A and B are shown apart, each in its own frame.
Chain A
Amino acid sequence: MKYLGLRLFQSVFVLLGVSLLSFIFVEFAPGNFFDEIRLNPRISTSTVTNLRKQYGMDQPLPVRYFRWLESAAKGELGFSFAYNAPVGPLLWARARNTLLLTGSATLLAWLIALPLGILSAARPRGWINHACELFTTALLATPDLLLALGLLFLAVHFHWFHAGGMFSQESAGQGSWVLSKDLAAHMVFPVTVLVLGSLPILLRHTRAAMLEVLDSPYVRASRALGISRGRILFRHALPAAINPLVSLFGFSLGSLLSASLLTEVVMSWPGLGPLLLEAVLARDIYVVIGAVLFSTLLLVFGTLLADVLLFAADPRIRTEGLA
């Protein structure tokens, strides 16, 4: 319990640190939202100055930071200039969609990678292993961008599923069953891209972790004792391999978020991706800071979850401090 408390404290620290860094970074950056507007001849300079005062952009850095912290505590996380609304709710609405995608993709990817990885490790010379290797290499050679564009191309040419967006026009206002089917149909392509993107790494690491465990002395001793292969695999090897895999889970969240950003933009999925892109192009800094912070939050949460799982799964960690 004390361990978890420490990790929680560290996480809060990390979040604060990232937010502070972002603020300082913005301070040094040339140009901002208001400079961009000023380029528009139809908006008078006095309007811009008033807008600046209204948003408190003329205040010194520490003041702005503390006011931002206040609004963060209220759940607002600052104000979006482009949307003219607080950042918090804006982020959350989009974040839900992103989580839907990334959550499904993570689940699916692990569901595929774990059994395949175990099988590959169990039979290093079998066809499954070779097929996986080929598959992995082919996928590693194909960047996410190409996967997304390629699938979009196929969808458009062969009219498979629905390419782009989250819901179709027709299903608006219909019952929840129709809506769910529609949603699922729209999710197929983005989730496929995300799963294909993360499979190579997961497969590789799962196989490597299992191979390492299967090679260890105590597993070989078990084999010598005559314990059945299946039992060894699932009762002895897999639990031992869990440790590196859970760490992998924590780390893979980061790359998944990056992949989902790109996929959402290409496939017009209304998630954090397009929001962040717009904000960057419009210099809507509080949205950018908010999005970066959200990804940090997700990551921190993910690693915390991984730590908890590890704590529960690996008896060595539980007894570490007790010697």
Chain B
Amino acid sequence: MKKKHRMTFLLICLGLLYLAVFAAGFLSPYDVAEQDRELPFAPPSRIHFTDTRGALHLRPSVCLLAEDSVQFGVYHEDTQKCFPIRFFVDGPQYKLGGLLACTRHLFGVDPPARLFLLGTDGYGRDLFSRFLHGGQISLAAGLLATLLSLAIGVLLGTASGFFGGWLDAVVMRFGELFIALPWLYLLFALRAFLPLNINPSQAFLLLIAVIGSVGWARPARLIRGVVLTGKERHYVLAARIFGGSPLYLVRRHILPQTYSIILTQAVLLIPQYILAEVTLSFLGLGVAEPEPSWGNMLASVQQYHVLVSYWWMLLPGIALVPVFLGYVLLANTLQARAT
């Protein structure tokens, strides 16, 4: 596949993923907090295209699930009682994009049937819905934290490279520390020194601030390098002769030279930061229950009985692979384009 086509393809794939997660409210049949105490750890629903009499239908359907009377966590399907899956149904209210209140969902089933595309967790909550909503948190955290890191990196890197002197020395030494120290230890240390019990939106912002302030150093160093050589270019000197102020020189001539570095750094940082959020939430230091995040959804897998019996609980982790793959291939393509 030609490079330009490959990049477009990858961007479209990632874009679709982000879109799906953005439309989590529309795409998920249930609310994230809705519990079904009768169906904890239910496996993913089996979708049938045949009805109770064995005839083929275009419309998929789902059969009623009942828990085994003896064993906990084992379920049997009642193939006599099946319900069709409807599209564009009315359901629990959600806010599209956080603003528009809607009640229409892409698909759903009438009660008492339940459609659990990815199964349920220990509280009987639909994992598919939680997965999509959790994706909002994890993916958004990755993007926002990257923005923060790059902002700090561009600011400090440009100042360092442009002005040099003691500012440069201090910033670079400080940055070396951040590059060299293990990132998870840094995250822990930062997180440790901040309050533990805070409400979810504060936790989210705090998480972004902590993650973003750990990874500024590498972008800063790279940008500084570009600025160091960039400010000596003759067209910058020419602008200086005309009387261009430092701010003008940076804005007009030097910063544009950094754009490609910023792009490559962004593509590298976003997946790392998504992983950082997932890891922190997994360990209990990030987004806390009941708000879903791919990290805290994975946390229950640490329990032995969950790991053994309920394989679908691993899906949030497996979902990371296509996301990472997309970014890795994008980074490879960008690098191939640069050389």
Contact = CB atoms under 8 A, between A and B. Distances in A.
Assess A/B contact in the complex (Cβ within 8 A).
Answer: yes
A14 B179 CA distance: 13
B177 interface: yes
A261 B184 CA distance: 8
B321 interface: yes
A254 B321 contact: no
Contact of B185 (A31, A257, A265, A266): A257
B304 interface: yes
Contacts of B184: 257-259, 261-262
A299 B179 CA distance: 11
A288 B285 CA distance: 14
Nearest to A292: B189
Contact of B279 (A18, A262, A292): A262
B247 interface: no
A140 interface: yes
**Size range of the interface on A?**
35 or more
Interface in B264-298: 275, 278-279, 282-285, 298
A150 B196 contact: no
A236 B298 CA distance: 49
Interface string A11-46: 000100110001001101111000000000000000
Nearest to B284: A281
A299 to B, nearest CB: 5
A288 B192 contact: yes
B185 A149 contact: no
Given A18-B177, A153-B311, A254 B183 contact: yes
Given A261-B185, A262-B184, A25 B193 contact: yes
A160 interface: no
A153 B310 CA distance: 10
Interface string B177-209: 101111111101101111110000000000000
Contacts of A149: 298, 301, 307, 314, 317
A98 B322 CA distance: 31
Interface stretch (A178-186, A238-246, A272-280): A272-280
Contacts of B324: 140-143
Contacts of A262: 184, 279, 283
A157 interface: yes
B202 to A, nearest CB: 12
B308 A146 contact: no
B328 A140 contact: yes
A156 B189 contact: no
Residue among A140, A143, A251, A288 facing the most chain B CB atoms (10 A cut-off): A143
A146 B279 CA distance: 10
A280 B183 CA distance: 15
Secondary structure of the A contact surface, majority rule: helix
A279 B185 CA distance: 12
A145 B279 contact: yes
B192 A280 contact: yes
Interface string B298-339: 100110100110010010011011101100110010000000
A257 B278 CA distance: 18
Contacts of A192: none
Contacts of A288: 188-189, 192-193
A141 B325 contact: yes
Interface of A: 14, 17-18, 22, 25-26, 28-31, 137, 140-143, 145-146, 149-150, 152-153, 156-157, 250-251, 254-259, 261-262, 265-266, 276-277, 279-281, 283, 285, 288, 291-292, 295-296, 299, 303
Given A141-B328, A149-B301, A283-B196, 19 more contacts: A14-B177, A22-B189, A31-B196, A137-B328, A141-B322, A143-B275, A146-B317, A146-B318, A153-B311, A156-B307, A156-B308, A254-B182, A257-B182, A257-B185, A258-B184, A258-B185, A261-B184, A280-B191, A281-B285
Interface of B: 177, 179-186, 188-189, 191-196, 275, 278-279, 282-285, 298, 301-302, 304, 307-308, 311, 314, 317-318, 320-322, 324-325, 328-329, 332
Q: Which 8 A-B pairs have the closest CB atoms?
A: A258-B184, A141-B325, A29-B193, A257-B182, A258-B182, A280-B192, A141-B324, A146-B317
8 contacts: A22-B189, A28-B193, A31-B196, A142-B324, A254-B180, A256-B182, A266-B302, A283-B192
